[in-house]
Amino acid sequence: MRPSPKKIFPLLLFAFPVLLVLASASCKKFLTVLPVNDVSDQVTIVDATSAETAVRGVYRSLAGGYAAEGGTGTGSYYGGLFETFGYLGGDDIVWTGSQSVIQQFISHNVTSDNGNLESVWTGIYQTVNGANQVIAKVPLVADPNFAAGEQNQLTGEGYFIRALCYFDLARTWGGVPITLTPTTTATQKNNIARSTLVQTWTQVLSDLNAADSLLSLPVTQNPVRVNKETAWALKARYYLYQQDWANAEAYATKVLGDVTNYQLLTPFNSWFQPASAVATRESVFELSYNATYQNSSRSSWQPPANGGTRQWAPGDSIAALLNNPLIGGGRSALVAQTSTGLWFGNLFYRSPATDPSYIIRISEVYLIRAEARAQQNEIADALSDLNAVRARAGVPASTDSTQAALLLDIENENRVEFALEPHRWFDLVRTGRAQAVLGITDPTKLLLPIPVNEITLSNGVLKQNPGY
């Protein structure tokens, strides 16, 4: 028997609004859906564990990492693009691809709309924001589970990474906008003008000093994270850039004094070959990659036969230098040849691309001290440091005894020692030799332009570098 519509109708008339009301009462809950892949930014660094994860996150931002298929990338700082700024400009690397964004660096004619320029700028400031989060929040955490000194260590790591960020910003762009607080809203960092170059360098030193005071000395050899000595090494490099030779020498000496954790490994290739050679004692600081977050340098260096694109490759001149037993010595391992005889860089070769990104190697600290000593006319000591690096590479010792010759030796040593690492361009600019060596007529090209989008978004507050 069917129910009478006449009975159902009033029932429905009643039920319908009730359902509506019920629906709207639970609506608020129904309309709030939280993600599971990510968490709210309201609760971020609250205890020891979340402080540790946040610090690791800053390292990951610093390291970037081209994500394996299915994952997401984490930025474009080290681990690929930033390094290219350091070596493409040095005239030793040639470009074989079709995109002019790379060629612009080689021909010293980078336009402000260059995509890589913007990627790196963004990647660095993303890391700065992560460091700012750590610096602002970790010291406030009150958690009995924090082991003694760990809170300071973590905060110090934040300061160190921020120092490195502003260091790289300063040497690439000159004076840049300085931001020292965590970003919480979209408009918070609008209209921040550039600081001067001096102010930017001052910020680097201030962060390095903070890091120096907060970080602990290494307990075990661990170059994938920073410690007090890592801060010293970066200070040595900082003072070298400031041409404060005495301090550069002093901090280099402090690092080189730790022979337990750092050593020039022989033969030369033993710090990157075989594939298991990661985080060796060669490294003062290197960044770590894994199958999930891979180092994108590899695919650009390796040839198609090895699953790469060989978009850029060692030029004939550097290949000749590296293969010269009197100049390159063991450093010839940095390059290899395809079956058709084309040179390719072989420092980044692992599959999956877990190759470390080398930030500071101990040989750099030797060469910093060599240069600082040479500048102070401590010729014998300088020669000793230079020849330590040369001996490790298996090339004859230098016997030059004049300051000028020695400085040139050190410049040339840097060229081959760091043939595939981001040194030569920055070194030549730092020493004022870029125009002479690279034939750059326009000195404004020694700094890169601020990305045009960043200028546009600043409402005129951000001024472009001259010449762009």
Bridge partners of residue 287, in order along the sequence: 357
Our CB check for another protein shows the closer of 51 and 255 to be 51
**Residue pair 321/335 in contact by the 8 Å Cβ criterion:** no
9 lies in the binding site for another protein (CB under 8 A): yes
14 lies in the binding site for another protein (CB under 8 A): no
274 lies in the binding site for another protein (CB under 8 A): no
Least distance CB 423 / another protein (angstroms) = 23
Using a CB cutoff of 8 Å and minimum separation of 24, what contacts does 323-330 make? 325/394, 325/395, 326/395, 326/396, 327/395, 327/412, 327/416, 328/393, 328/395, 328/416, 329/268, 329/390, 329/393, 329/394, 329/395, 330/266, 330/267, 330/268, 330/269, 330/392, 330/393, 330/394
* Alpha-carbon gap, residue 450 to 2, rounded angstroms: 78
Least distance CB 264 / another protein (angstroms) = 19
Single out the segment in contact with another protein by CB under 8 A; choices: 37-45, 136-144, 262-270, 375-383: 37-45
50 lies in the binding site for another protein (CB under 8 A): yes
Residues in 54-83 at the binding interface with another protein, rule: CB under 8 A:
54-61, 63, 68-72, 74
391 lies in the binding site for another protein (CB under 8 A): no
Our CB check for another protein shows the closer of 98 and 399 to be 98
Least distance CB 217 / another protein (angstroms) = 16
Q: Give φ, ψ of 358 to 5 degrees.
A: -90, 115
Q: Is the dihedral of CA 267, 273, 278, 284 positive or negative?
A: positive
Least distance CB 404 / another protein (angstroms) = 28
177 lies in the binding site for another protein (CB under 8 A): yes
Among 149, 307, 396, 466, binds another protein (CB under 8 A): 307
Least distance CB 421 / another protein (angstroms) = 19
Judge residue 77's burial from the number of C-beta atoms within 10 Å of its C-beta, 0-12 exposed, 13-18 middle, 19 or more buried.
Answer: buried
Residues in 142-171 at the binding interface with another protein, rule: CB under 8 A:
none
* Alpha-carbon gap, residue 59 to 78, rounded angstroms: 10
Among 209, 270, 453, 465, binds another protein (CB under 8 A): 453
Least distance CB 369 / another protein (angstroms) = 26
The candidate with the shortest Cα–Cα distance to 165, out of 246, 254, 226, is 226
Please give the C-alpha separations between residue 247 and each of 14, 157, 159, 363, in angstroms, as whole numbers.
85, 22, 20, 18
Amino acid making up residue 35? P
DSSP labels, 321-353: HHH-TTTTGGGGGGEEE-TTS-EEE-SS--SS-
* Alpha-carbon gap, residue 165 to 171, rounded angstroms: 10
Single out the segment in contact with another protein by CB under 8 A; choices: 23-31, 378-386, 399-407, 426-434: 23-31
Our CB check for another protein shows the closer of 246 and 457 to be 457
* Alpha-carbon gap, residue 148 to 125, rounded angstroms: 31
Number of residues that bind another protein (CB under 8 A): 107
Residues in 330-349 at the binding interface with another protein, rule: CB under 8 A:
340, 349
* Alpha-carbon gap, residue 42 to 21, rounded angstroms: 32
229 lies in the binding site for another protein (CB under 8 A): no
Residues in 413-442 at the binding interface with another protein, rule: CB under 8 A:
441
Least distance CB 25 / another protein (angstroms) = 11
Our CB check for another protein shows the closer of 8 and 246 to be 8
Single out the segment in contact with another protein by CB under 8 A; choices: 38-46, 236-244, 264-272, 323-331: 38-46
Helix (H, G, I), strand (E, B) or coil at 103: helix
Among 198, 320, 436, 457, binds another protein (CB under 8 A): 457
Torsion of CA 244, 246, 249, 250, to 10 degrees: -120
Among 213, 260, 266, 290, binds another protein (CB under 8 A): 290
Residues in 87-146 at the binding interface with another protein, rule: CB under 8 A:
98-100, 107, 109, 111-113, 118, 121-122, 125-130, 132-133
Please give the C-alpha separations between residue 103 and each of 76, 95, 177, 427, in angstroms, as whole numbers.
18, 6, 27, 20
* Alpha-carbon gap, residue 416 to 432, rounded angstroms: 19
263 lies in the binding site for another protein (CB under 8 A): no
Least distance CB 58 / another protein (angstroms) = 7
35 lies in the binding site for another protein (CB under 8 A): yes
Least distance CB 272 / another protein (angstroms) = 14
Single out the segment in contact with another protein by CB under 8 A; choices: 185-193, 314-322, 359-367, 378-386: 185-193
